[in-house]
Amino acid sequence: MGQKIAGSQVEVLRGCGHWTPIEKADECIDILRRFYARRC
């Protein structure tokens, strides 16, 4: 799906389910910060 959306990025966080922002909060925040830093 990431190839179909311009500017998108796919990240896979292992060991979590459907609550990724809760289960892997620190990793999610780091990924989002890096993503936004490249685009802002």
Domain boundaries, the chain: 14-40
Task: Give the model's pLDDT for residue 3.
Answer: 87
Task: State how far the alpha carbon of 36 is from the alpha carbons of 7, 10, 21, 33, 39, in Å.
Answer: 11, 14, 16, 5, 5
Model pLDDT for residues 1-40, shown as the tens digit of each residue: 778 998 888 999 999 989 999 999 999 999 999 999 998 7
DSSP string, the chain: -GGGSTT------TT--S-HHHHTHHHHHHHHHHHHHHH-
As given in the structure block, the two tokens for residue 40 are 């802002």
